[in-house]
Amino acid sequence: MQLNFAKSNGLVPAIVQDHRDGRVLMLGFMNEEAFEKTVSTGRVTFFSRTRNKLWIKGETSGHYLLLKRLEVDCDLDTVLVHAEAVGPGVCHEGYRSCFYRTLEAGDWKVTDKPTYDPAKVFGP
Amino acid sequence: MQLNFAKSNGLVPAIVQDHRDGRVLMLGFMNEEAFEKTVSTGRVTFFSRTRNKLWIKGETSGHYLLLKRLEVDCDLDTVLVHAEAVGPGVCHEGYRSCFYRTLEAGDWKVTDKPTYDPAKVFGP
């Protein structure tokens, strides 16, 4: 049973969920090479659509995602990555999860607290 | 803060997570109309890429997803839908979640039990 990379131009969405408490941390995209690197290295690896190249999550920040378990959906076109997040946060904006805003009365309100200072990790 | 529908041809991935226990149930795509319908009706609505039209999840099966909370990621290009799943399962294959297979020794193994018989819901 092969993943269906053809459906979305060679990419599958990859949902990353904290393996301990189930918090959804981020969504990235994997091409076949990123998927294979994730499995073979145990470090979650995406294909960056903006930079058009492989992206080992954490390669700059040290905030790696360590693979714990991989699930696939019925259509074989989306993967669910259960991972251990190294460091204080997955989001480059300084939060544990990229999902730190909630829809309230028609606006996206910040509903989570920052866990680190991105300027100290990525530079000013 | 508007969702970025332009990045992926008018669509954003929408992760659906059970609002009670955090189980990830499925991933769909929303265009702007599907997003607005989801918010205004409280029933999670996608844009079906294969049928090329709006798709109220549950319109055939009765297994609706009732919106509880909506989060957005840092790039405003992915939404996380916390929902109550009506009925025994979200997946048309007869499982609670579309993610019912796990990678084990290089193969996708079924690691969950069916919760209903799809032939009785969708016909043989």
**How wide is the angle at C-alpha B93 spanned by C-alphas A1 and B88, nearest 5°?**
140
Question: CA end-to-end span of chain A, whole Å?
Answer: 45
Global confidence as pTM? 0.97
Adjacent-strand bridge partners of B108: B103
Minimal Cα–Cα distance from B100 to chain A, Å? 7
3-state secondary structure A30-53: ECHHHHHHHHHHCECEEEECCCCE
Percent of chain A beyond pLDDT 90?
A: 93
Q: How does pLDDT run across B94-107, given as a tens digit for each residue?
A: 999 999 999 999 99
- Structure confidence at residue B74 (pLDDT): 97
- Structure confidence at residue B23 (pLDDT): 98
CB-nearest partner of B101 from A17, A24, A72: A72
Adjacent-strand bridge partners of B48: B53
**Residue A38, Cα to own-chain centre: how many angstroms?**
12
Q: How confident is the model at residue A124 (pLDDT cuts 50, 70, 90)?
A: confident
- Structure confidence at residue B100 (pLDDT): 98
Average per-residue pLDDT in chain B?
Answer: 96
Minimal Cα–Cα distance from B1 to chain A, Å? 7
Interchain contact, B102 vs A69, CB within 8 Å: yes
Q: Is pLDDT at B1 greater than 80 in this prediction?
A: no
Residue of chain A nearest B1, judged by CA positions? A108
Distance, CA of B14 to CA of B110 (rounded, Å):
24
With contacts defined as CB-CB under 8 Å, which chain B residues touch A75?
98
CB B68 within 8 A of CB B50: no
**Which residues have a Cβ under 8 Å from the Cβ of A116 and sit 6 or more positions away?**
A87, A88, A89, A94
Question: What torsion do the CA atoms of B59, B16, B35, B11 make, to the nearest 10 degrees?
Answer: -110
Q: How does pLDDT run across A12-64, given as a tens digit for each residue?
A: 999 999 999 999 999 999 999 999 999 999 999 999 998 999 999 999 999 99
Report the half-sphere exposure of A53 (CA within 13 A, side-chain side).
2
CB-nearest partner of A74 from B69, B70, B91: B91
Please state the ipTM of this predicted complex: 0.96
CB-nearest partner of B17 from A24, A49, A100: A24
Q: How does pLDDT run across B37-48, given as a tens digit for each residue?
A: 999 999 999 999
What are the CA-CA distances from residue A27 to residues A20, A99, B31 (Å)? Answer: 17, 10, 17
Q: What is the DSSP letter of B86?
A: P
Average per-residue pLDDT in chain A?
Answer: 96
What is the number of CB-based contacts under 8 A between chain A and chain B?
91
Residue ranges of chain B whose CB lies within 8 Å of a chain A CB: 1, 7, 13, 15, 17, 21-24, 26-27, 39, 49, 69-76, 78, 80, 91-93, 95, 98-103, 107-108, 111
Interchain contact, A71 vs B17, CB within 8 Å: no
Interchain contact, A73 vs B26, CB within 8 Å: yes
Q: Is pLDDT at B7 greater than 90 in this prediction?
A: no
